[in-house]
Amino acid sequence: MEGVSEASIGDAAERIGLRTARRTAERVAPGVSALVASVRTLDHVADEVPAVRYPRTPGYQPGPDEDPLHAWYRKTSIPGTATGPLAGRRVAVKDTVCVAGVPLMNGASYLEGYVPEVDATIVTRLLDAGAELVGKTNCEYLCFSGESNTNATGPTHNPHRHGYSAGGSSSGSAAAVAAGEVEMAIGGDQGGSIRIPAAWCGVYGMKPSWGLVPYTGVFPVEQTLDHVGPITAKVLDNALMLEVIAGADGLDPRQGAAVEPDAYTEAVGQPVQGLRIGVLEEGFGLPCSDRRVEEKVRAALDVLRGEGAVVRPVSVPMHRLGGAIWAAIVLEGGLEMMMLGNAVGTNWKGLYLDGLARHQAGWRRNPDELPEPVQVSMIAGEILRTSFGGRYYHKAQNLARKLASAYEHALSEVDVLALPTVPFGPRPFPVEHGGAGGPEAAAGVAGGAAAGMDAPHLETDQTVNTAPFNCTGHPAMSVPCGTVDGLPAAVMLVGGMYRERTVYRLAAGIERAGRWQDW
């Protein structure tokens, strides 16, 4: 194997700030060449990745006649085993989830052409349970938006009103379920990306406890925030899907060996009598809150009170700091992991996907093509990272533990916390994305005083109640609880770590009260 040239050594040294090394390149060349040659002997060894078991085809991109909501990236048919708890069920997965042989785009134009080499663990588990995987659903560009109009191929429309946001970033999964195209779908959640679209589309979305479901083979944003979970049309289906996909896989180091799925479906039929619900005061009365949404949430909790649950206010003042804690983590950590680390990074024992890393590196070819929400996040992350030496990321991770303790203290006195999933309803797209435009669709800032809000709000206000629980890892589920101006409103139920059963028990209590569309 040829040695490394002195010019290459000098260039590499300068890139990492070792400017004097160019003058000593001749002296260090033998050592550098020997080390590189040693590593390159791995070229002759096969990679160690999970085997792909179920036959499939790449599928196709449906046109507007077949996909009027623009919910789908690819449609395909991958039948699983003939028996199992999901036998005969059709499921979809967000287009952040690796399905071997089926393209993955993650909403980003530069990722077109990437075809994953493996199935994500959750895909294998769904197929092993008898499901048929019928396609991959659209999501926001690199999942960096709570709206649904940043995908490079176009916006995903709300199934309840064309031209309105379906919520993001798991926009297509929620829209496809709400439209009845599938009963079950997988979403991903780093700051609310399961729960926001579930809330705005009127379906059930569960962000499980951090680490309960393996993230292996799913496009990451930030390892300490990444979650994946079910979006469904019924609570029972949600619980069943979580039973199938939960549990350690031996490949995701975020999971302990003791992480086991529970019998979540058993909880769905249990009465709610005696369960204690803490109405989280800090999740209400926000500047961006629509008071009509809050009224729907309180009415849903009154339903549970009527079934014998104990409903009382609780206070966690630190909840209002959760958004800032989350922002520090996702801005700096997301930049490091997803962009500079090419969605693979280093320093952990998980599965590494080389093909994904090579394709993700393509963002550097034309970074100006990145949509504004991604650019804004990257610039803010770089300023925080370089100007302050990572101070805010470090402090935020420390404070996340304190925040988790504050929630756990409240949850020692009640069984769940309850608050609005998103404190306001879906908004129209800007005109350029096929929406009605107007002040609520303005880029960056949306006006809402006429809709019962006290002040205009930023797009990031969508995550004000959801994102803190990504920092702490608590299970949180969005449950539809009525409509405002004909569009869905939702309550979020938050349980103690690995206590999804209690969350499902209460969600089913609300579902049993009747059609939320009529509330």
Catalytic residue among 193, 209, 377, 478: 193
Confidence of residue 455 (pLDDT cuts 50, 70, 90): very low
Compute the average pLDDT of residues 342-355.
Answer: 95
Q: What is the C-alpha to C-alpha distance for residues 330 and 302, in angstroms, rounded to an integer?
A: 36
Confidence of residue 506 (pLDDT cuts 50, 70, 90): very high
In the block, which residue shows the tokens 């709610």? 272
441 has pLDDT over 60: no
Q: What's the number of domains the chain is made of? A: 1
Quote the mean pLDDT of the chain.
93
| Contact indicator for 114, 343 with CB cutoff of 8 Å | no
| Domain presence at residue 1 | no
Structure confidence by residue, pLDDT tens digits, 71-94: 999 999 999 999 999 999 999 999
| Domain presence at residue 272 | yes
**Backbone φ/ψ region at 59: left (φ over 0), alpha (ψ -120 to 50), beta:** left
Question: Distance between terminal CA atoms of the chain?
Answer: 72
pTM recorded for the entire structure:
0.94
- Residues 254-269, buried b or exposed e (16+ Cβ, 10 A)? bbeeebebbebbebbe
| Domain presence at residue 27 | no
447 has pLDDT over 70: no
| Contact indicator for 205, 497 with CB cutoff of 8 Å | no
Range of the domain at 143: 72-325+394-431+450-518
Rg, C-alpha atoms of the chain? 23
Catalytic residue among 94, 136, 207, 296: 94
For residue 18, what pLDDT is reported?
84
| Domain presence at residue 173 | yes
| Domain presence at residue 331 | no
Spatial CB neighbours of 288, under 8 Å, sequence gap ≥ 6: 423, 424, 448, 453, 454, 455, 457, 458, 461, 464
| Domain presence at residue 350 | no
- In three-state secondary structure terms, 167 is coil
Tell me if residue 349 is catalytic: no
| Domain presence at residue 126 | yes
128 has pLDDT over 90: yes
Tell me if residue 169 is catalytic: yes
Compute the average pLDDT of residues 91-104.
Answer: 98
Identity of residue 183 = E
User: 146: domain CATH number?
Assistant: 3.90.1300.10
Identify the weakest region by mean pLDDT among 280-284, 396-400, 452-456. Answer: 452-456
**Backbone φ/ψ region at 390: left (φ over 0), alpha (ψ -120 to 50), beta:** left
301 has pLDDT over 80: yes
Compute the average pLDDT of residues 456-475.
Answer: 87
For residue 256, what pLDDT is reported?
81
In the block, which residue shows the tokens 């769905």? 268
Spatial CB neighbours of 416, under 8 Å, sequence gap ≥ 6: 275, 276, 277, 278, 493, 494, 495, 502, 503, 506
Catalytic residue among 148, 165, 169, 171: 169
SS3 sequence of 384-439: HHHHCCCHHHHHHHHHHHHHHHHHHHHHCCCCEEEEECCCCCCCECCHHHCCCCCH
| Domain presence at residue 99 | yes
Tell me if residue 402 is catalytic: no
Compute the average pLDDT of residues 153-162.
Answer: 98
305 has pLDDT over 90: yes
Identify the weakest region by mean pLDDT among 178-182, 270-274, 419-423, 455-459. Answer: 455-459
